[in-house]
Amino acid sequence: MANFLLELGTEELPASFVAGSVRQWQRLVPATLAEQSLTNDSIHVYATPRRLAVSIEGLPVKQSDREEEVKGPPAASAFKDGKPTKAAEGFAKKQGVEIDALEVRATDKGDFVFVLKKIPGRQTADILAELVPLWINKLEGKRFMRWADGELKFPRPIRSIVALFDDTVLPIALVSGSDTVKSDRISQGHRVLHPEPVSIPQAEGYVECLRGACVEVDRSQRKIQIQAQVEAAATKQGGYADITEDLLEEVTDLVEWPNAVVGKFDDEFLMLPPEVITTIIVTNQRYFPILKNPQFPELLPYFITISNGDPAKSAIIAAGNERVVRARLADGQFFYKADLAKPLEDYLPKLETVTFQEDLGTVREKVDRLCKIASLIVNQLQLTAEENLHIARAALLCKADLVTQMVYEFPELQGIMGQKYAFASGESEAVATAILEHYLPKGAGDNLPQTLTGQIVGIADKLDTLVSIFGLGMLPTGSSDPFALRRAANAIINIIWAAQLPVNLHQLLAEIVAEVTAERPQTPPELLSQLYEFFLQRIRTLLQEEKNVDYDLVNAVLGEDDPEYTERALRDLLDALERALFLQQIRNDKTLDLIYETVNRSTRLAAQGDLDKVELEPKVAVKPDLFQKSSEQAFYDAVVQLVPQTQLSKQTRNYQQLVDSLTEIAPTVSNFFDGAESVLVMDSDPEIKQNRLNLLGLLRNHARVLADFGAIVKS
């Protein structure tokens, strides 16, 4: 067995590409080896800012010989009177075999000529030499570049290739115009701690060899070391390291030999909001803050840098970092004091100078629109006068911090500084918190707004963006959603679900679109239907992907080309969620099986009648004097008893009560179909046939209070 090592030496790679390339090679390398029938004991992918590497252990020296069956021309055209034709001769020549090796076999489409070829295995080293360029060229990422005058693309120029098959250099060359990089066994150590070239004797022992040159190529080990060093450094300062996963991941891909260095800033800067300090330290500088207590955001005047330099120079490195942080914090302090010089409301006029979108006017105009939408939601929910005042005030001020100096310099602090400045301006807690919360959630998995005021203003803001952008015809496509409209719609739905807000989205969208159309007559007439469809798609996706409801049960709740169901879902999102989760529950506990056959069969047959889908009263739809069998009367009596149960289920949304009632009458319905007194629904007498179809339609309609059983697939 043999080992293989590939290392690409590069100029400093973007941190985001390093982690992504590891994941890509972890998928690509095993897949391509399997295609070549090359087994192995293990594959390890390594990466640092200056190299990508893969180590493969336990490879065969040579591919195994294999047999391959190849189908040729029809036997009738390959042989005439038992003699081979030119078709047979051409096929044999193409496959590199003698005519005697051809076999005739019967297939579903007649007799055909086949040949069983024996393919000798190739040398593994030759195959690897062909795969390496493929592995390199298949890597994907943002902002690839060309260098020299060639066409080869990579995030940064490739400067060296190590390719070893055991202790032998595989001849590989990457050509980019006049620039050619050829493989050898020479790698590079740490830029500062080991600037001399490193000769790698053989494929085995690569990790240890590079560690000797002060390079930790194992990304997972580098990450563990960084976390341990940061935590130890924070403990030494009497605090707790504030380690976010995103920062830890990024820093892991910025260094080759991590070394934690502690820096300090002046205590006077602690008067700044903690979010300002952490934004400067974390977002701008990629440093780790130190907390006094892990449960609270109060900071100590220290930060931790992960240096890629010489540990012996830590004091110099710390001093340089401190100068940078001190300057940035001084800027933040200046912005903060300047912003506090006037109340938050005084920034509103300046919003008229900021464009929201070229065709939609300024941010100030957006604020006016979202204030109107917030008032529509307040009217729907019939909130108190005090709640209305808080929501109106928060809607008015929610964007004011965008034109403060702090948010201009640090856009990621929008909403956060709005809350701080609102408190400083004497605004109520409800208003200040809503200014912060109305941006939530900022992404998948993020927190939702927890206060009613924050929820209403957040929904209003996102609805304004959705309706306004849709009104311009700028709908998201499969690959493009520059205004994050899917995320906005998902957020609206999730807020409504989580907060149990009885928002009638169907009516709300209609009212907003009416306002937009009145202001902009050129608004496309299909805008409202597009928004309805868009929200239904998002509800469908969220139910399946986040709530884990089976696709057919989602279809049964939302309907497929069923206006009644789609409107019902948008009118009452809470009910749609409740019905979907309930259906999944009764499928999981097998209760659905007890009613599925009878209800689904009734639903399918009822479709051949003309009874509307909302009628529940048997005395209106069915004529008992047309009954010919006792099973019809029993079915009718059961549906009569079902009416009050269904009405109560509709009012209380207690769908278990409805399912219990449907379960109870299931034997009666089965007897109607298949019992001793069964009937032929499609009777030759049109009146009797319609009467029986109406009976089935009633059962369908009662079941439709929960779901469209015709859309449910049998478990």
For residue 83, pLDDT over 90 is answered with no
Residue 65 has pLDDT above 90, yes or no: no
How far apart (Å, rounded) are the C-alpha atoms in residues 302 and 316?
Answer: 16
Lowest mean pLDDT among 4-18, 23-37, 112-126, 644-658: 112-126
pLDDT at 148 over 80: no
Determine the average pLDDT of the residues in 395-405. Answer: 97
- Look at residue 67 and tell me whether its pLDDT is greater than 80: no
Helix (H, G, I), strand (E, B) or coil at 157: coil
> For residue 13, what are the contacts with CB-CB under 8 A and spacing of at least 6?
21, 49, 50, 52, 155, 156, 253
Distances (CA, A) of 64 to 58, 97, 118, 169, 578: 14, 20, 11, 23, 58
Strands laid side by side in the 240-241 sheet: 240-241, 288-291, 299-307, 259-264
CA 666 vs CA 53, 181, 599, 600, 631: distances in Å: 65, 76, 8, 11, 12
The mean-pLDDT minimum among 175-189, 230-244, 351-365, 456-470 falls in 175-189
Tokens 């066994």 map to which residue?
Answer: 185
Mean pLDDT of the region 24-35: 95
Report which DSSP code applies to 215: -
pLDDT of residue 631: 92
Predicted confidence band at 715 (pLDDT cuts at 50, 70, 90)?
A: low
What pLDDT score was predicted for residue 96?
83
What is d(CA 572, CA 568) in angstroms, rounded to the nearest whole number?
6
| The pLDDT of residue 241 | 95
Q: How far apart are CA 330 and CA 323, in angstroms?
A: 11
The model's pLDDT over 623-673, given as tens digits with 9 standing for 90+, comes to 999 999 999 999 999 999 999 999 999 899 999 999 999 999 999 999 999
pLDDT at 461 over 90: yes
| Percent of the residues in the chain that have a pLDDT greater than 90, as a whole number | 80
Query: Could you report the per-residue pLDDT of 378-394, keeping only the tens digit for each?
Result: 999 999 999 999 999 99
What is the pLDDT of the chain when averaged over all its residues?
Answer: 94
Question: In 1-142, which ranges are E strands?
Answer: 2-10, 42-48, 51-59, 66-74, 79-80, 83-84, 102-107, 110-119
Q: 668: which 2 tokens? A: 């009666």
For residue 251, pLDDT over 90 is answered with yes
pLDDT at position 469, please?
95
SS3 sequence, 558-624? Answer: HCCCCHHHHHHHHHCHHHHHHHHHHHHHHHHCCHHHHHHHHHHHHHHHHCCCCCCCCCCCHHHHCCH
Q: Per the structure block, which two tokens stand in for 679? A: 């009937």
- Convert the pLDDT of each residue in 326-370 to its tens digit: 999 999 999 999 999 999 999 999 999 999 998 999 999 999 999
Looking at residues 237-246, what average pLDDT do you find? Answer: 95
Phi and psi at residue 143, in whole multiples of 5°? Answer: 55, 55
Other CB atoms within 10 Å distance of the CB of residue 696 = 27
Q: What share of the chain is helix, strand, coil (3-state, %, to 5)?
A: 55, 15, 30
Distance CA 691, CA 678 (A): 15
Which residue, 423, 272, 427, is CA-closest to 336?
272
Distance CA 190, CA 257 (A): 8
pLDDT of 89 strictly over 90: no
User: Does residue 109 or residue 15 have the better pLDDT?
Assistant: 15
Length of the chain: 715
Q: What is the pLDDT of residue 177?
A: 76
pLDDT value at residue 332: 96
More confident residue, 582 or 564: 582
Q: Could you give the percent of the chain with pLDDT greater than 70?
A: 100
**Three-state secondary-structure class, residue 660:** helix
- Evaluate whether 184 touches 172 at the Cβ level (below 8 Å): no
Q: Extract the tokens encoding 559.
A: 């309907």
Three-class SS state of 426: coil
